[in-house]
Amino acid sequence: MRPEILEPLLLSMKVSLLATGIDVLLAVPLARILARRTFPGASLLHTLFLLPMVLPPTVLGYLLLLLVSKKGPVGAPLYHAFGVELVFQWTGALLAASVVAFPLLYQGALAAFRSVDPRYEAVARTLGRGPLYVFFTITLPLAWPQLLAGVALAFARALGDFGTTLMLAGYIPGRTVTLPLGIYFAVANGENDVAAVMTGLLFTFSIATLLGIQWLTRRQGTPFLSTG
């Protein structure tokens, strides 16, 4: 495979897998809390968590750029204390992918946990089981088909991000070029054969993800994507 295709493919897979892992660690516990509890500010938190899903990618990328640049409120401490730079680095692409994919995983996890009958959890608690035991032996096994579907959708969204990644990571061959960025600039440079191969790769990943989600949730009797 040609380097101009292989490098974006490998970076896209690296970024998407890491972004999905980060989102799992963040979105799952947050969704579990908000699925069962109401407290002042819960609606605001829910709105903020879903905001990246409705903001234009360039707007989201610009806001992140303001936050994590060397002069930003988040980026400045990271740079001066640890020498960490996020802008125009592959880690900028990772941050962008994590943010744009987060709402899909959060919303999927929220729906998954809300679908679990709380009576099962209550019975376990009356038997003296602790919260972690209840979560890992009752809640998670019942919620996992829809939860896994949310994970798959988040991965696909992270893999396909363009606007936010371009704003935050830029286009630096060999460092920040993911498949979507590679397609755009290949077309701009008249390299239609390269763009076609990259498009085919993204198309294949997307179709495989959607088919996998449908197969998994249909097998569990909890269809996530209705086919009519």
Specify if 153 maps to a domain.
yes
Name the maximum alpha-carbon separation found in the chain: 67
Rounded Cα gap, residues 105 and 24, in angstroms: 7
Residue 225 maps to a domain? no
Instruction: Give domain status of residue 228, yes or no.
Output: no
Q: What total of structural domains would you count in the chain? A: 1
Is residue 224 domain-resident?
no
Residue 227's pLDDT is what?
Answer: 41
**Identity of the amino acid at 105:** L
Assign 147 to helix, strand or coil. Answer: helix
Domain coverage including residue 86: 3-219
Below-70 pLDDT ranges, the chain = 216-217, 219-228
Q: Any idea what the CATH number is for the domain that residue 93 is in?
A: 1.10.3720.10
> Based on the number of CB atoms within 10 Å of its own CB, is 186 exposed (0-12), middle (13-18) or buried (19 or more)?
buried
Three-state SS at 34: helix
pLDDT on residue 224: 52
- Provide the 10 A C-beta neighbour count for residue 180: 20
Query: Given this model, what pLDDT does residue 228 score?
Result: 40
Q: Which two tokens stand for residue 144?
A: 């996992």
3-class SS letters over 82-124 = HCCCCCCCHHHHHHHHHHHHHHHHHHHHHHHHHCCCHHHHHHH
Give pLDDT, residue 1.
74
Q: Round to whole Å and give the CA distance between 180 and 175.
A: 14
Does residue 27 sit within a domain? Answer: yes
